A and B are shown apart, each in its own frame.
Chain A
């Protein structure tokens, strides 16, 4: 396990690289999804006020 984490001495390059990749990919999804949900909420508000 320690061998795996050490990455043959390249741990300080390999893990930050994977960390940045996962972080940026996750941020892309979170930002996109939140913006979608926000618009959806606004849309449902408009539809309910119209029905009234």
Chain B
């Protein structure tokens, strides 16, 4: 893995991978939206409202997955000081926040017709709201320092501490009595969702994952370019200082 922590190598690798991820994301999402809106059958209890599931569930999965990625990258950054790990964690944060926002808003729009309420303070909903604030807190903390390395260090610690929220989100529906239903896809004994709905859901999930991967690579590339720009500007300042110092000698 450490080979990919080399920025130059990452730039070369991501340049080759990004078009494939982008094309895959566009393809899977196009097919996924088509299946979700036109092909998947209405639910026998929820009717057409069940179609909200096809954006809500993949967004919820990506919200947790992006945080897991951020936490692992932060651990790598703290332990091994890999140059790319901090950049990767910071690149993932706004994407994770976006997925969490989609999850919360679509969940609310699904809750109103099915539960009769936009919001309840049950364990699942509250822990996902905490996840959203963790993302925002992480982004704010990273940018709160003048020295980017100190900001990255503080952010990495917050990301790791916040990772305790991930198992809480996952098992909240088992540990507490929640209005939110328990897991129905990734569960022991196989999914309880019918194939006709499971296939569109998984196509959407693959689309969301590739979308995340493509944007993540683009954002890490941007961060690498930014650090090169900073180094180049510092270099120019040094060159400037030498020319100023020159004649006085």
Contacts and interface: CB of A to CB of B under 8 A. Distances in A.
Interface of A: 4, 7-10, 13-14, 16-18, 20-21, 24-25, 27-29, 31-33, 35-36, 39-40, 42-43, 46
B100 to A, nearest CB: 10
Contacts of A46: 229, 232-233, 236
B102 A20 contact: yes
Contacts of A14: 48-49, 51-52, 109
Given A8-B48, A16-B109, A17-B52, A24 B101 contact: yes
A24 B98 contact: yes
10 contacts: A7-B51, A10-B49, A13-B49, A17-B52, A20-B105, A20-B106, A25-B98, A28-B95, A29-B215, A33-B218
A32 B102 CA distance: 17
B222 A39 contact: yes
B63 to A, nearest CB: 11
B211 A25 contact: yes
Interface centre among B109, B113, B228, by most A CB within 10 Å?
Answer: B109
A9 to B, nearest CB: 7
B124 interface: no
B98 A36 contact: no
Contacts of B48: 7-10, 14
Contacts of A8: 42, 47-49
Nearest to A25: B211
B102 A24 contact: yes
B219 interface: yes
A32 B110 contact: no
Nearest to A37: B222
Contact of B112 (A7, A13, A31, A32): A13
B55 interface: yes
B49 A40 contact: no
A18 to B, nearest CB: 6
Contacts of B226: 39
Interface in B93-108: 94-95, 98, 101-102, 105-106
Nearest to A18: B55
A10 to B, nearest CB: 4
B109 A13 contact: yes
Contacts of A33: 218
